[in-house]
Amino acid sequence: MNAQSPVSPSKTSSSPESLPERRKFKLMTFARNLILWFKQPGVILSLPALFVFIAGFVGPLVLVVLYSFMPPRTFSFNQLPTLDNFATILQDGYYLSYAWSIGLALVTTLILLAICWPVAYGLSKVFKRSMIITLLLVLPLFVSENVRLFGWVLTLLNHGVLDGTVRTLFGWELPDLLYNVPVTVLGMVYIYLPFMLFPMSLGISMVPDTCREAAFDMGATRWQVFKEVELPLAMPGIMIGSLLTFVLVLGSISEAKILGGQSIIMISHDIETAFTYAQNWPLGSALSTLLILITAVLVIGLLSRLNLDNLLSRK
């Protein structure tokens, strides 16, 4: 008879009896590495900040999402989940508020892009050693947003500052300037200008003067320098300012209330009404959850699909 051949180590390691031991070894290794990671000084010192972040940011978002699936006009979680709140959003025309908010956010962002580029360029390249212009742009931030908006109301109101001045000097009677869409956009541009201006200034300041000078020395025109040198290098600051402005305008409420006179209803106004006057927390949570999802999809989609070479038509 032939002698029985010895079992190879490879077969032994792959036998069913060794699988639980391998899993146990991997689990023990993972637990050991996790304990060593938690023992690091940086991790231990960051635990209080992590707790505050979870309790103050993640926790409320989770509660809002959970409330959005509760029955309407309930104030507890001991109910069966339902999609009635999202059905109400579609049936009651709340999509119009979303459309107004997204549209005004896009328009405001585009207007601020056009306005802030020359100002930011001047701050970064021409008046970079002068603090007077920077202080003039920063000082309004120390005044409440509502106070500044009511200043525009006093200026544009019938028989207000502007109308009274024109009547006195020229005898003309101005039409109603308040409570419409253009003046609402004006208020948004005025309020959120610093959030576009300063990131854009930072981006433009990152463009080396030597690159511009080298491009001019090689015969490039002013438009070619702007398109091929300044804009690509300043794009990080432009993108940060655009995203900040878009997200802030998307959730704004004071401009449409004070200057627009509710001629248009922003989605933030519907959320406020649902949480306060209507006492319908689940509906307000559903509106908030949908707004968060729309914002995340737009921002993440823009960042994932943005191709600077295609944007600038570069080959």
Q: What's the burial of 21, exposed, middle or buried (CB within 10 Å: 0-12/13-18/19+)?
A: exposed
User: How high is the pLDDT of residue 302?
Assistant: 76
Pairwise CA distance, residues 110 & 103, whole Å: 11
DSSP 8-state symbol, 71: P
User: How high is the pLDDT of residue 17?
Assistant: 52
**Where do the structural domains in the chain lie, given as residue ranges?**
18-67, 93-311
Stated as kind and residue range, the H or E segment containing 82 is: none
Pairwise CA distance, residues 310 & 299, whole Å: 18
User: How high is the pLDDT of residue 8?
Assistant: 47
Pairwise CA distance, residues 311 & 232, whole Å: 10
Query: Looking at this protein, which amino acid is placed at residue 105?
Result: A
What are the angstrom distances between the C-alpha of 3 and each of 7, 37, 166? 12, 52, 115
User: How high is the pLDDT of residue 313?
Assistant: 46
Taking only the tens of pLDDT, the chain with its 315 residues reads 444 444 444 444 445 456 677 777 788 888 888 777 777 777 777 878 888 888 888 888 898 999 899 998 888 888 888 899 899 998 888 989 999 999 999 999 999 999 999 999 888 887 776 777 778 888 888 888 889 999 899 888 888 888 888 888 888 888 888 888 999 999 999 999 999 999 999 888 888 888 888 988 888 888 888 888 888 888 888 988 999 999 999 989 888 889 888 788 899 999 999 999 888 999 999 999 999 999 888 888 777 766 555 544 444
HSE (side-chain half, CA atoms, 13 Å) at 93: 3
Structure tokens belonging to residue 214 = 């080298």
User: Which class is domain 93-311?
Assistant: mainly alpha
CB 249 within 8 A of CB 189: no
Rounded to two decimals, what is the model's pTM? 0.79
Residue with tokens 């544009």: 156
What are the angstrom distances between the C-alpha of 224 and each of 116, 183, 203, 229? 20, 36, 18, 8
> What SS3 class is residue 272?
helix
